[in-house]
A = this chain, B = another copy of it.
Amino acid sequence: MRLFSRSAVILILFTAVTSMVSIQPKVTRVVFFGDSITQAGAKPGGFIVMMKDALTQKGLGSQYELIGAGIGGNKVYDLYLRMQDDVLSQNPDVVVVWVGVNDVWHKQTYGTGTDPDKFEKFYTAIINKLLDKHIRVILCTPAVIGEKADFTNQQDGDLNAYSQIVRNLAQKWHTGLVDLREIFHNYEQKNNPGNKESGILTLDRVHLNEAGNQLVAEKMLETLTNVK
C-alpha cells in the first residue's frame, strides 16, 4: 500500500527543488582586484566590508559575495601576472579593477613606475581576458596621491592623465566605471578648504581613512548594483 502515487512524489520533489532555488538565488561573485588600497578595503573598517554591511542592510546580503584581491605595491602589470591565480580561479561574475597609484607614484619613489603607453597596454590585456570569459568589468580611476585641491600635488599631472586613460578604456570596452579621481577631486574642493595634504579622505595622502572608505563604498555600490 503506497502513501503517495509516483506522480505525487514527482510533484513534491519538483516543488522542493523549486523552493530551494527560490531561497538560493544566484550569488554574484565580485572580486576586487587592486593594490594596497584594495587590500586594506577587505579588512575591518575597509570599503569592501562596508559594502557587505550595506548590502545586508538592504536585504541583498545573500545575493553578493565580495572578495578582496588586493596586494600592496601592485602596478598594472603585477595584476596581469597574477590574474589566473587570484581572479579567474575564483570564477567571478564581476571584477572591480582599481590600479594606477603605484604606476604613477613609483616613478618618483623608486624609479619603477609604468609608462602611460604600457599602462594602457597591460590594462587592455586584463580587460580582454576578463571579457573573453564573460565577466562583467568595473574600472576605477586612481584617486589621489596627496589631497590638495588645487592640482599642486606632485603627481597630479600624471594622475589626471592616467585617469583619462582609464576613462577611455571604460568607454571603449563598455565597462562600468567608478571615476574616483573625479569623485575625490569634487569632494576635496568642497571639504578641504585648508588645502591639506591628507586627513580629509586619506590617512597618509594615499590610503583611505573612514570618510574615504565610506565614500568609495557608497560610489562602488551604486555602480555595482547598476551594472548588468
* A residues apposed to B, CB below 8 Å: 77-78, 80-81, 106-115, 118, 121-122, 125, 146, 150-158, 160-161, 164
CA distance A81 to B160 in the complex (A): 26
CA distance A31 to B163 in the complex (A): 37
Distance (Å) between the CB of A142 and the closest chain B CB?
Answer: 13
Q: Is the CB of A161 within 8 A of B152?
A: yes
User: Which residue of B80, B113, B160 contacts A156 across the interface (Cβ within 8 Å)?
Assistant: B160
Extra contacts, 19 of them, besides A151-B157, A155-B157 (Cβ < 8 A), are A77-B77, A77-B81, A81-B125, A106-B111, A107-B108, A107-B112, A108-B111, A110-B115, A111-B112, A112-B112, A112-B114, A112-B115, A151-B160, A152-B164, A153-B157, A153-B161, A154-B161, A156-B156, A156-B157
Pick 12 A–B contacts, CB within 8 A, sort by A. Answer: A77-B80, A106-B115, A107-B112, A111-B111, A112-B112, A152-B160, A152-B164, A153-B157, A154-B157, A155-B157, A157-B157, A157-B158
Contacting pair B109 A109 (CB below 8 A): yes
- Determine the residue in chain B with the shortest Cβ distance to A150: B160
A169 to B11, CA, bound (A): 64
Q: How far is the CB of A176 from chain B (nearest CB, A)?
A: 23
How close is A77's CB to chain B, nearest CB, in angstroms?
A: 4
Chain B hits for A158, CB < 8 A: 154, 157
Q: Are B157 and A121 in contact (CB under 8 A)?
A: no
CA distance A160 to B159 in the complex (A): 14
> Which single member of B111, B152, B160 contacts A113 (CB below 8 Å)?
B111
Is A78's CB under 8 angstroms from B118's CB? yes
A118 contact set on B, CB distance < 8 A: 78, 112
CB distance from A36 to the nearest CB of B (A): 15
Q: A90 CA to B3 CA in the complex, in Å?
A: 67
The CA-CA distance from A85 to B164 in the complex, in Å, is 28
**Alpha-carbon distance between A207 and B157 when the two chains are bound, in angstroms:** 19
Least CB distance, A195 to chain B, in whole angstroms: 10
Closest Cβ of chain B: how far from A126's Cβ, in Å? 11
